[in-house]
Structure 1
Amino acid sequence: MTAGPEAAGARLDRLLAEALPTLSRSRLKTLIEDGRVSAGGTAVTSPAAKVKAGQTFAIIIPEARPVALEGQAIPLEILYEDKDLIVLNKPAGLVVHPAAGNPDRTLVNALIAHCGHQLEGGLTGIGGELRPGIVHRLDKDTSGVMVAAKSEAAHQGLVEQFSARSIERSYLALVWGRPSPSQDAITGNIGRSPRNRKKMAVLRRGGRPAETGYRVLESFQNGKVSLVECRLKTGRTHQIRVHMAEAGHPLLGDPLYGRGDGRRAKALPAPAQAALAALGRQALHAKTLGFQHPVSGDTLQFTCEPPSDIRDLIRSLE
């Protein structure tokens, strides 16, 4: 397609949404970020890229593969539910959606079992293949509040709020040391680590902009460990874990970014060492999620206190 004079200065994703009304904005955003949209043979990977009059764009839409997803009866702690969305407290250890190594027993499988008959467009119709209703995610070993869409209108509205960064998200994290200053923001583009493709990293070149605000709530053991509240301005993969590690304060128990975790643990009292070993994961919990209901417009906010494993670790440090 070729952009006319009236399209000059428009965002690429909006131009494509008008030209391809059968594709949702979220689907187009994914296609752009995956490098499937090009201008003059060069991939354009930013949905917010400004269009120039006369530019010609090509878009590659992969052929949809039928995916047989099965509902699986996995207990869910539901905080709120209506015909458009569901809010839940995800336990640590539960993968959000199927992927290599985790083909089933995921949150998606649980959602299909719980409300699959209510999902508009069938089991693969919301949010793309293998992710019915999923508009954001938590790492497997991160616990806390999540929202999933049950209708196309809710999915679209939530995606727009996440893109506009109007969603309220706060996390509790136990980190090594005491960050100074006690309240600040950490910035730095995050992308795939060039040294270890399983990890993300703060990059000097490339990556995507990321900002994490933090506030020290309490320190323990003469500053060896701190309880920190983190608020996300952006939502990059492993963002809090990467930013806190980059600042020299990795999360306790983090298997990927916890540099010197074992050495630091030896300086803690025996009960704290035992509680950290029992945790067996990064000490990170999504405590608060606030947003506007994408259909009714009501302001919603949900808060979950951390699970017993993190509470036990905090008590052992006091």
Structure 2
Amino acid sequence: MTPDDDIDDDLPLASNGETHDLVLTSDMAGDRLDRALLPLLPDLSRARLQALISDGHLSHDGQTIADGKHKARAGLYRLFVPAPVSAIPEAQNLPLEVLYEDAHLIVVNKPAGMAAHPAPGTADGTLVNALLFHCGESLSGIGGVLRPGIVHRLDKDTSGVMVAAKSDAAHRGLSELFSRHDIDRAYEALVRGAPKTASGTVTTRIGRSPHDRKKMAVLKSGGREAISHYRTLNSFGGEKPVAARVRCTLETGRTHQIRVHMAYLGCPCLGDPVYGSGAPHRAVAEALKTLSFARQALHAAHLGFVHPVTGERLAFEAPLPADMADLLSALKLL
């Protein structure tokens, strides 16, 4: 597994699968949790159960349990088992906007609605499927069968610049760059309200939410350090802004980092179905409805790095996609 933060936490946060409600009686309590639950799951091996627990798929009274060594307690446990995924993605002739390509790597402008790689609930139609068709055998096996060439990711409904490796040397080099955070990454977000200060830095710890396995959250302890810098480019709606355009640059690349940090600041990305709790201003809500805007308004606008093989400094920009540009135009009228 690559050390890149984006890949380390790349477990499906919402996917098809099965949920098992498991009741442990008082006479079953006291043993190791994984050992106590195993007889209730005849179709799972102990190793599979332990992996599911460590991946955050087990909860007790709404609290996620991530260690099967805990002592079992009486009560109701809920285990989510993701649907199986095909081990070998297929090449698919999908539209692909290529910003740069050479023998070692390829840079693309990923559209919203395209997942980076196959996962439970998203078996095909991904960037990996498109890259396998476009790059042919040059991508085969680079970085693993399921995610060939992938060294970082964007959420399915986040658009923008991504780089993928076409050679082992590029895969190693890019993975090291991401691991050292030696990559320039900037995103643009359209958010509800506006940050209290026009610019600043958010430093927190981010990990899987203890209350909802489908979400990441800012944690007081545990998780991993997450650092985002932000700058408000424009605000809309007068002295008390109802929306804003914010540019974020990353020092780290945790799962859902910008979405979590913007929500932490009280101004979640517009259209975010997971972190956008609370209704936007009536005029903003009307604009979202009129435009049928139904994804988080987040776009990876800039990616810069040193080519891991040639040493050349590369930088790429992707303008706002049409849906975000239309939303921005509507916000400017408020």
TM-score tier by shorter-chain length is 0.7 to 0.9
Q: 1:59-70 maps to which residues of 2 (within 5 A)?
A: 67-70=87-90
- Tell me whether 1:166 sits opposite 2:182 in the alignment: yes
Give per-residue Cα distances to partners, 1:45-79, cap 9 Å, x unaligned: 9xxxxxxxxxxxxxxxxxxx993321000010000
1:185/1:104 CA distance change after superposition, 3 Å: same
8 Å contact 2:96–2:108 — kept in the other structure?
yes
- Unpaired segments of 5 or more residues in structure 1? 1-23, 35-44, 46-64
Question: Which residue does 2:250 correspond to in 1?
Answer: 232
CA distance in 1, matches of 2:289, 2:95: 30
Match of 1:309 in 2: 323
Verify the 8 A CA contact 2:2 2:151 in the aligned structure 1.
no
Q: Judging changes above 3 Å, is the alpha-carbon distance between structure 1 residues 207 and 26 closer, same or farther for their aligned structure 2 residues? A: closer
User: Which residue among 123, 131, 142 is the counterpart of 1:111?
Assistant: 131
Name the SS for the 2:136 alignment partner: helix
The code of the aligned residue for 2:162 comes to M
Contact in 1 for aligned 2:3/2:179 (Cα 8 Å):
no
RMSD (Å) for aligned C-alpha atoms = 2.5
Could you tell me how far apart the structure 2 residues matched to 1:203 and 1:165 are? 21
Aligned partner of 1:226: which letter?
A: A
Provide, for residues 76-95 of structure 1, a one-character-per-residue CA deviation record: whole Å limited to 9, x for no partner: 00000000000000000001
Distance 1:254 1:165, change over 3 A: same
Say if 1:251 and 1:66 are closer, same or farther in 2 by CA, change over 3 A. Answer: closer
Q: Any conservation in 1 of the 2:115–2:156 contact (CA below 8 Å)?
A: yes
> Structure 2 residue aligned with 1:206, among 222, 228, 232?
222
Q: Does residue 183 in structure 1 map to residue 199 in structure 2? A: yes
More strand by share: 2
Contact 1:272/1:317 (CA < 8 Å) preserved in 2?
no
CA–CA separation in structure 1 for the residues paired with 2:199 and 2:305: 24
Contact in 2 for aligned 1:94/1:140 (Cα 8 Å): yes
8 Å Cα contact 1:221/1:268 also seen in 2: no
TM-score (norm 2): 0.73
Partner of 2:40: none
State the 1:264 CA deviation: 1.7
Identity %: 55
The alignment status of 1:285 with 2:305, answered yes or no, reads no
User: Do the aligned residues in 1 keep the contact of 2:88 with 2:146 (CA within 8 Å)?
Assistant: no
Match of 1:21 in 2: none
Q: Give the 3 Å change call, closer, same or farther, for CA 270–104 of structure 1 in structure 2.
A: closer
CA–CA distance in structure 2, aligned partners of residues 232 and 270 of structure 1: 31
Structure 2, unmatched stretches of 5+, are 12-53, 55-84
Quick one: distance in 2 between partners of 1:269 and 1:210?
30
Letter in 2 for 1:246: Y
With over 3 angstroms needed to count, the CA separation of the structure-2 counterparts of 1:269 and 1:299, relative to structure 1, is same
- Cα distance change, pair 190–248 in 1 and its aligned pair in 2 (3 A): same
Tell me: CA distance 1:101–1:271, structure 2 relative to 1, closer, same or farther (3 Å). Answer: closer
Distance 2:118 2:125 in 1: 8
1:145 is paired with a residue of what secondary structure?
Answer: strand
| CA contact 1:85–1:151 (8 Å) conserved in 2 | yes
Match of 1:266 in 2: 282
Q: Aligned partners of 2:316, 2:245: CA distance in 1, in Å?
A: 20
Aligned residue for 2:280, secondary structure, equals: helix
Per-residue Cα deviation, 1:140-194 (whole angstroms, up to 9, x for no partner): 0000000000000000000111111110000000111121211101111100001
Say if 1:202 and 1:242, in contact at 8 Å, map to a contact too: yes
Partner of 1:194: 210
Question: 2: distance between equivalents of 1:126 and 1:307?
Answer: 30
Measured in 2, the distance between the counterparts of 1:70 and 1:80 equals 23
Residues of 2 paired with 1:310 and 1:166: CA distance?
Answer: 28
Q: Which amino acid aligns with 2:95?
A: P
Structure 1 length-normalised TM: 0.76
Question: Of 214, 234, 253, which aligns to 2:271?
Answer: 253
* Equivalent position SS for 1:210: strand
Q: Which residue of 2 aligns with 1:154?
A: 170
Tell me which stretches of 4 or more aligned residues in structure 1 moved more than 4 Å: 24-27, 269-273
User: Are residue 72 (structure 1) and residue 92 (structure 2) matched?
Assistant: yes
Contact 1:88 1:147 (C-alpha < 8 Å) held by counterparts: yes
Work out which structure has the larger RCO, using CA pairs closer than 8 Å and 6 or more positions apart in sequence: 2
Change (3 A) 1:69 1:273: closer
1:238-269: CA deviation from partner (whole Å, max 9, x where unpaired):
00000110111111000000011xx3242438
The whole-number CA distance in structure 1 between the counterparts of 2:3 and 2:248 is 26
Work out the CA distance in 2 between the residues paired with 1:220 and 1:251.
14
Q: CA deviation at 1:25?
A: 6.7
Question: CA offset at residue 196 of structure 1?
Answer: 0.6
CA offset at residue 270 of structure 1? 4.2
